[in-house]
Amino acid sequence: MRYKRWLLCMTAMMFLLCGCARTKSSEGIPQITVIDTLPAVDESIPREPVELPSSEIINIMGREEDSLRIRQKGGSFSYEQFTVYNVIFHDHDVFFAMPNDGQINWEDSGVSVQYIGEREFEMLKKLNEKNVVGEDCEAFNESMAKTRQLIKDGFLQDAFTDYLSDFPELELEGKSLTLELTCAERTDRKEDQTSWWELDYDLIAESEDGDRLTLATMDISKVFLVQGEENTWDDAQYRIWGYPSAMWELLEQPEEDRGETALKVLPEGTFTDEASIYDYMEQYAGERQITWTYSGKNSFWYDYLLWEGEGGGYQYRIAIPITDKDAGSWIIQAKIKTGAENPNDCFNALSVFMQTFRPNKHSNP
From residue 291, give the alpha-carbon distance in Å to each of 279, 308, 322, 339.
15, 8, 22, 17
Delimiting residues of CATH 3.40.1000 domain(s) in the chain: 58-107+253-361
Which one is predicted more confidently, 107 or 90? 107
Which residues share a beta bridge with 66? 82
Instruction: Give me the pLDDT at residue 232, please.
Output: 64
Instruction: Give me the pLDDT at residue 73, please.
Output: 60
Tell me which range, 56-65, 92-101, 184-193, is most confidently predicted by mean pLDDT.
184-193
Query: Of 296, 295, 282, 290, which is closest to residue 309 (Cα–Cα)?
Result: 290
Q: What number is the average pLDDT over the span 118-145?
A: 81
pLDDT bin (cut points 50, 70, 90) of residue 165 is confident
Which one is predicted more confidently, 307 or 109? 307
Instruction: Give me the pLDDT at residue 27, please.
Output: 67
d(CA 326, CA 259): 31
Question: Are 150 and 140 a contacting pair, CB within 8 Å?
Answer: yes
Question: Has residue 222 got a pLDDT over 60?
Answer: yes
Q: 100-109, 201-210, 315-324: which has the minimum mean pLDDT?
A: 100-109
pLDDT bin (cut points 50, 70, 90) of residue 74 is low
Question: Has residue 319 got a pLDDT over 70?
Answer: yes
d(CA 136, CA 196): 15
Question: Are 346 and 298 a contacting pair, CB within 8 Å?
Answer: no
* CATH architecture for segment(s) 58-107+253-361: 3-Layer(aba) Sandwich (3.40)
Instruction: Give me the pLDDT at residue 235, please.
Output: 81
Tell me which range, 13-27, 248-262, 283-297, is most confidently predicted by mean pLDDT.
283-297
Question: Has residue 210 got a pLDDT over 90?
Answer: no
Q: 15-19, 112-116, 177-181: which has the minimum mean pLDDT?
A: 15-19
d(CA 298, CA 149): 56
Instruction: Give me the pLDDT at residue 295, please.
Output: 86
pLDDT digits (tens, 9 = 90+) for 19-35: 333 345 566 788 899 99
pLDDT bin (cut points 50, 70, 90) of residue 284 is confident
Give the pTM: 0.63
From residue 339, give the alpha-carbon distance in Å to each of 18, 58, 310, 342.
44, 34, 11, 9
Average pLDDT, the chain: 78
What sign results for the dihedral spanned by CA atoms 57, 59, 65, 66? negative
Which residues share a beta bridge with 187? 196
Instruction: Give me the pLDDT at residue 337, please.
Output: 83
Q: What number is the average pLDDT over the span 349-365?
A: 70
Query: Of 107, 93, 109, 104, which is closest to residue 61 (Cα–Cα)?
Result: 93
